[in-house]
């Protein structure tokens, strides 16, 4: 190789580093929004309200209640599970729907989406960054309910070895691991809601419309899941497996229902992320 060729080629290029700046920027945008912070605060109030209500009821000589609720007075850790049962039909999907619906539509409505597309990254990567922010918020929401439930439960009720739904007793530390797994399962279910919301968000420039449509689809799925005449479609509904986390509180742990729930969520994520990419890749951004 001649000297002129070496000068033309220049020094060897350094290995290309993967930048996380866009992801960090998206996470900061999601978690710094006052509305999103307020929703996490509301979710944190769910176990507080349930715990205080059960504590006052127990003080008055009351007791019993539906599954998990009646066990709170025996072991405060069950407040974590009871709070997730209460939050998962509406509060958690609503919080995730707000973040997902605003992800793309919010940027389009404020006119910042086209500036994001000027950044030298592909639309597919930008969409994945948006979804990463949604998943992070879904995880934070589920953990907020679970962690506050554990803390309030330990403050108001006795804690110790936990008797599972199957009758087996686990040390408290092992039961905490089960509680963490429950929160992870719930977060995975909410990630499915987030994928649906992200797709709807690519269809409109009105974030409130995307939020409302996502919540409505979730409610419709829950209604259909309660109608026995359409039982044939129940296993394919987004909401059907949400409460399957009860299997994590049994020993031995049955994994068939949990696996089907995770596979259903993964299917919704795959389908709606693909649809979102197809829409977003061909979208003519004017705002």
pLDDT at 71: 85
Residue 212 reports pLDDT greater than 50:
yes
Q: Are 153 and 189 in contact (CB under 8 A)?
A: no
Mean pLDDT of the chain: 87
Q: Structure tokens of 196?
A: 């649906």
At residue 120, the pLDDT reads 61
Model pLDDT for residues 213-262, shown as the tens digit of each residue: 999 999 999 999 999 999 999 999 999 999 999 999 998 899 999 999 99
- Range in 68-72, 102-106, 169-173, 282-286 with the lowest mean pLDDT: 282-286
Question: Can you tell me the distance from the alpha carbon of 225 to that of 238, in angstroms, rounded to the nearest whole number?
Answer: 9
CA dihedral sign of residues 127, 129, 132, 136: negative
User: What's the CA gap between 148 and 86, in Å, rounded?
Assistant: 14
Q: Is the pLDDT of residue 14 over 70?
A: no
**How confident is the model at residue 114, as a pLDDT?**
66
Give CA–CA dist 256/244, Å, rounded.
10
281 pLDDT band, cuts 50/70/90, is confident
How would residue 12 be classed by pLDDT, with cut points 50, 70 and 90?
very low
* Res 4 pLDDT > 70: no
pTM (predicted TM-score): 0.88
Q: What is the pLDDT of residue 118?
A: 62
Query: In this model, does residue 59 exceed pLDDT 80?
Result: no
User: How far is 47 from 78, CA to CA, in rounded Å?
Assistant: 10
């Amino acid at each position: 190789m001649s000297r002129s060729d070496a000068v033309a080629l220049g020094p060897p290029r350094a290995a290309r580093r993967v930048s996380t700046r866009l992801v960090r920027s998206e996470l900061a945008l999601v978690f710094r929004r006052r509305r999103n912070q307020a929703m996490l605060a509301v979710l944190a109030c769910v176990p507080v309200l349930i715990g205080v209500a059960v504590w006052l009821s127990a003080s008055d000589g009351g007791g019993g209640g539906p599954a998990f609720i009646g066990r709170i007075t025996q072991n405060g850790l069950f407040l974590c599970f009871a709070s997730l049962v209460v939050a998962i039909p509406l509060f958690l999907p609503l919080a995730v729907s707000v973040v997902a619906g605003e992800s793309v539509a919010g940027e389009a409505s404020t006119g910042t989406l086209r500036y994001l597309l000027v950044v030298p990254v592909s639309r597919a990567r930008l969409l994945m960054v948006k979804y990463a922010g949604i998943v992070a918020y879904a995880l934070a929401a589920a953990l907020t309910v679970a962690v506050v439930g554990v803390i309030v439960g330990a403050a108001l009720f006795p804690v110790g070895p936990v008797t599972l739904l199957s009758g087996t007793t686990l040390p408290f530390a092992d039961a905490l691991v089960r509680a963490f797994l429950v929160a992870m399962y719930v977060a995975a279910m909410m990630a499915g809601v987030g994928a649906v919301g992200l797709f709807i968000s690519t269809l409109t420039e009105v974030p409130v419309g995307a939020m409302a449509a996502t919540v409505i689809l979730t409610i419709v799925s829950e209604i259909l899941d309660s109608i026995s005449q359409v039982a044939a479609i129940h296993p394919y509904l987004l909401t059907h497996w949400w409460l399957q986390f009860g299997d994590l509180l049994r020993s031995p742990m049955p994994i068939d229902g949990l696996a089907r729930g995770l596979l259903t969520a993964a299917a919704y994520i795959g389908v709606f992320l693909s649809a979102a990419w197809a829409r977003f890749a061909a979208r003519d951004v004017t705002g």
